[in-house]
Structure 1
Amino acid sequence: MLIDVRGLIHRIGERTILDLPAFQIQRGEHALLLGPSGSGKTTLINILTGLVTPTGGEVLVDGRPIARLSPAERDDLRRRTIGLVFQTLRLVSALTVRENLALAQRLALGRVDAAQIERLIGRVGLAHRANALPRQLSQGEGQRAAIARALCARPALVVADEPTSALDDANAQAMVDLLLDSAEATGATLLIATHDSRIKGRFGRTLELQPLMAAA
């Protein structure tokens, strides 16, 4: 089992924003995380990836209790095990698209596979923008670059927060194809948080969160 959530609670002040008694994802399984704004999707992603420590409960990622790891251990787990695609562009601003992918590979794997980087850049339709800096990319191009960066180190778990929100229909389907094909090739697990109804039919399993109105 790659993700095992047990009795997860998260509060901000007196308000409970996430209450998830149990949730598991097996290795190689793919799931969509659904729910309206305010339902806790991004909070859950941040907890699963060790960016936020929950108020209560336990989350095991690859058998490790992520909330009990040190900051350095969390960083190491993210580099080696998790590919992250955020809603906001988090590419290194001083590096080109190609250099951003090379840096991600080097940090995770200790080496650079230039051929794989070129294949991924081509798959996301950015071969003509490989030498562009993040500030020179459109929103959609930046999102595609972020997806390529998340995949370039062949992580066991790919977690994406609204990865197709800035893409047109053709590119949205192409990015889902890329995520699914890459996961199939490497045995990776996908967890994608989305509002995008265009991609719901591509995944067999969903977890739907609802906003919690009552205070804790």
Structure 2
Amino acid sequence: MTLAPTGPMLIEARDLSYRVGGRLIMELGAFTAARGEHTLLLGPSGSGKTTLINLLTGLRTPTTGQVWIDGQEMSALPAGARDALRKRTIGLVFQTLRLVSALTVRQNLSLAQHIVLGRSEAAEIAELIERVGLSHRADARPRELSQGEAQRAAIARALCTRPALVVADEPTSALDDANAQAMADLLLRSAAATGATLLIATHDTRMKQRFARTLELKPALQAAA
């Protein structure tokens, strides 16, 4: 029997597990996040962080359990409906940033807005590019950007569609201390400006001091011990 979500949560998950060929990859009893409640998912490589955010965002289907996003049961929706819910609710920043290589930073944001909102707002895009410190690189293509610039461009693209939820996978793993703190500042400041909720998956414990709420994952075999 499918039970309805318990309250006005942006994210609610229950009894999640994910298996591949019978092997347990990730298991989590329950997780919720209200609007405006930022969460850091911490854990070493192999603890299931990326798997969990793929389940929460509907990119994978849990072996067991249920996921609701903004009151809709993401895990029960067909592929097309999942895509629609994800596009209008979630901004994703992947480990591989997935910027369109043939387009400039400005054009990447414009395309994202067109896909999700059906229109592009040049002034809003310019303001967001300025907020992430890339005004001088707005007309550069991804191959012309440094790693840090490309990460900031990916965050701007995730925010430009005004999502309720921004999900970032390992946004600081390759950065030094100063740039990691700058990235945390950027994520938190940008989320505050747009009203977005953050869900950040990382093994970078430097981020822990910046988030009031953390969920620490363990590798599936260790968690079951």
Q: Distance in 1 between matches of 2:125 and 2:188?
A: 18
Gaps of 5+ in 2: 1-8
* Identical columns (%): 72
Q: 2:151 aligns with which of 137, 143, 146?
A: 143
Match for 2:45: what amino acid?
Answer: S
Q: Distance in 2 between matches of 1:80 and 1:168?
A: 33
* SS of residue paired to 2:113: helix
- Of stretches 54-63 and 160-169 in structure 1, the one that deviates more from structure 2 is 160-169
**CA deviation after TM superposition for structure 1 residue 171, in Å:** 3.3
Q: Distance in 2 between matches of 1:123 and 1:174?
A: 13
Question: Number of residues paired by the alignment?
Answer: 215
2:64 match = 56
Establish whether residue 21 from structure 1 lines up as the match of residue 29 from structure 2: yes
Q: Distance in 2 between matches of 1:131 and 1:167?
A: 24
Q: TM-score, normalised by structure 1?
A: 0.93
Establish whether residue 34 from structure 1 lines up as the match of residue 42 from structure 2: yes
Establish whether residue 198 from structure 1 lines up as the match of residue 206 from structure 2: yes
Match for 2:83: what amino acid?
Answer: D
- Of stretches 28-37 and 195-204 in structure 1, the one that deviates more from structure 2 is 195-204
Give CA deviations for 1:18-55 in whole Å, capped at 9, x if unaligned.
11111111111001000000000000011111111111
Conserved in 1, the CA contact under 8 Å of 2:38 and 2:199?
A: yes
**CA deviation after TM superposition for structure 1 residue 132, in Å:** 1.5
Q: TM-score, normalised by structure 2?
A: 0.90
Runs of 4+ deviating beyond 6 Å:
none
Give CA deviations for 1:41-85 in whole Å, capped at 9, x if unaligned.
000011111111111110111111112212111111121110000
Conserved in 2, the CA contact under 8 Å of 1:5 and 1:23?
A: yes
Establish whether residue 165 from structure 1 lines up as the match of residue 173 from structure 2: yes
Q: 1:124 aligns with which of 126, 132, 155?
A: 132
Conserved in 1, the CA contact under 8 Å of 2:159 and 2:194?
A: no
Conserved in 2, the CA contact under 8 Å of 1:140 and 1:166?
A: no
Conserved in 1, the CA contact under 8 Å of 2:42 and 2:205?
A: no
* SS of residue paired to 1:132: coil
Match for 2:127: what amino acid?
Answer: R
Q: Distance in 2 between matches of 1:129 and 1:15?
A: 45
Q: Distance in 1 between matches of 2:73 and 2:196?
A: 20
**CA deviation after TM superposition for structure 1 residue 117, in Å:** 1.3
What is the RMSD of the two structures over their aligned residues, measured on CA atoms? 1.6
Establish whether residue 5 from structure 1 lines up as the match of residue 13 from structure 2: yes
Gaps of 5+ in 1: none
Conserved in 1, the CA contact under 8 Å of 2:131 and 2:190?
A: no
Conserved in 1, the CA contact under 8 Å of 2:170 and 2:202?
A: yes
Give CA deviations for 1:99-149 in whole Å, capped at 9, x if unaligned.
001111122222222122112222222222211222222222211111111
Equivalent positions of 1:65-144 (< 5 A) are 65-144=73-152
Q: Distance in 1 between matches of 2:118 and 2:20?
A: 38
2:184 match = 176
